[in-house]
């Protein structure tokens, strides 16, 4: 697993402390706590709240239906883009806290959201003894997601991709457009193999190689 820094905050005191330490706190709640109105690094994310049909299903005890519909909603464009922004923050190493206010104890949707991050994005949210992390097999997929959305550049994508992992096919045309590798360097049109080799060279060099024809070296 790949370490990251995303935590569930279950009290106003935790929120205040996390915020004052520089963490970004994402409020996924309708709660308005005057103690937290003017804290630094506070971000409102009401777009991630479940729609009415999800809340109705939850209150009616149809929890599987509620979680299914909530997952569909979170995959839509606007909430999906917000989730991608959270992922990008983790890749950049920015500490993120999730705060659901009183809904954390009164409703089930906060755990449904955390389950969504785990099941669909491979993100383990830290809480008490659970340490936050990103599952290895999800990492290339979420890197591709935030790269395609323009939330990270090609340099961050290439340097963050694990070595010897296939490049998702739907990402390769964008890499070709950005890096414009000489066609003579791409054996048998194997762009996947070419970019994997370039990533390996970058990791050996310990830096992003701006030109695809620059060889890794032991120099600066």
Domain ranges within the chain, ordered by starting residue = 2-137, 153-220
| SS3 of residue 214 by DSSP | coil
What are φ and ψ of residue 2, in 5° steps? Answer: -100, 120
| Residue 211 pLDDT | 60
Please answer whether residues 13 and 87 qualify as being in contact, where contact means their C-beta atoms are separated by less than 8 angstroms.
Answer: no
State the first-to-last Cα distance of the chain, in angstroms, to the nearest integer: 30
The C-alpha atoms of residue 206 and residue 214 are separated, in whole angstroms, by: 13
- The pLDDT of residue 34 is above 90: no
Residue 108 has pLDDT above 80, yes or no: yes
Q: Which residue has the tokens 């003579």?
A: 184
pLDDT value of position 54: 96
Specify the pLDDT at position 48. Answer: 97
Please compute the mean of the pLDDT values over residues 130-150 and round it to a whole number.
96
**For residue range 167-214, what is the model confidence (pLDDT) as tens digits?**
999 999 999 988 888 888 888 889 999 999 999 989 888 888 766 554
Strands (E), the chain: 2-3, 6-9, 24-27, 42-44, 96-99, 123-124, 133-134
Q: What pTM value is reported for the model?
A: 0.89
Per-residue pLDDT at 215 exceeds 80: no
CA atoms in the 13 A half-sphere facing the CB of 41: 17
Q: Using alpha carbons only, what angle is made at residue 155 by residues 191 and 1, rounded to the nearest 5 degrees?
A: 85
pLDDT(89) > 80:
yes
Please report, for residues 11, 13, 61, 188, the alpha-carbon distance to residue 106 in angstroms, rounded to integers and kept in the order given.
Answer: 13, 19, 13, 59
Strand-strand pairing, 133-134 and 123-124: antiparallel
3-state secondary structure of 117: helix
């Amino acid at each position: 697993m790949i370490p990251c820094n995303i935590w569930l905050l279950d009290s106003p005191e935790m929120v205040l402390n996390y915020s004052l330490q520089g963490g970004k706190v994402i409020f996924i709640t309708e709660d308005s706590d005057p103690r937290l109105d003017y804290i630094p690094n506070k971000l409102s994310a009401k777009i991630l709240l479940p729609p009415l049909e999800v809340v109705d299903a939850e209150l009616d005890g149809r929890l599987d239906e509620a979680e299914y519909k909530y997952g569909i909603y979170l995959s839509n464009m606007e909430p999906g883009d917000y989730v991608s922004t959270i992922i990008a923050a983790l890749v950049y190493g920015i500490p993120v806290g999730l705060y659901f206010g009183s809904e954390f104890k009164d409703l089930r949707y906060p755990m449904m959201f955390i389950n969504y991050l785990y099941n669909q994005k491979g993100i383990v949210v830290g809480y008490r003894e659970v340490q936050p992390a990103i599952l290895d097999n999800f990492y290339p997929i979420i890197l591709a997601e935030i790269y395609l959305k323009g939330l990270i550049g090609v340099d961050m994508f290439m340097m963050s991709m694990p070595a010897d992992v296939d490049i998702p096919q739907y990402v390769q045309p964008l890499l070709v457009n950005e890096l414009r590798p000489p066609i003579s360097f791409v054996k048998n049109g194997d762009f996947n193999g070419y970019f994997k080799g370039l990533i390996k060279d970058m990791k050996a060099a310990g830096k992003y190689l701006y030109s695809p024809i620059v060889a890794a070296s032991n120099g600066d």
